[in-house]
Amino acid sequence: MAELLLIVTIGGERVALPAAAVESVVELDTLIPVPRAAPHVAGLSALRSRVLTVIDCMRSLELGATDCSDGIREAAVVELDGHHYALIVDLVEDVVEVLSEPVIVRAAMGEGWERVSKGMVETEQGPILLIDIAALVSGVEVKAA
């Protein structure tokens, strides 16, 4: 069986997450801020009696902040090292099949994208950037002053 990808939009760019790592796609309507959390942690939310750490993918990629003031945001729920995270995305599009192995991107993409990139993969919809979920959840290292 071929590997599947979940196509999402982050910061206006279509990218792919490994579908096997995504437990569900949800609409978050409640977001509880967490004092002193890393800048890319938007807050906490609950899903079926589970607490989710909500990751602002835009901030993780150093592209600015996602506007969560309008209430409902789409998110992909993933589990990483026993913890559940909701990755805020602009849009969830489709699930597609991978047609190739990841190939290193040789063009400049910006520091955030380069940090989370696993390479470009071919799909029936054309080439798309494959995202490393662990790198996205980790965010940018905070440098001591």
pTM confidence score: 0.90
Domain 4-138: CATH architecture, name and number where available: Beta Barrel (2.40)
Does the pLDDT value for residue 1 go beyond 80?
Answer: no
| Other Cβ atoms within 10 Å of 137 Cβ, number | 20
Instruction: Specify the DSSP class assigned to residue 118.
Output: E
Determine the average pLDDT of the residues in 116-142.
91
Does the pLDDT value for residue 71 go beyond 90?
Answer: no
Determine the average pLDDT of the residues in 55-66.
90
Does the pLDDT value for residue 78 go beyond 50?
Answer: yes
The span from the CA of 114 to the CA of 67, in Å, is 24
Report domain extents, the chain.
4-138
* Tokens read off for 64: 């600015």
Which of 101, 123, 102, 105 has its CA nearest to residue 115? Answer: 105
- Model confidence band, residue 69 (pLDDT cutoffs 50, 70, 90): low
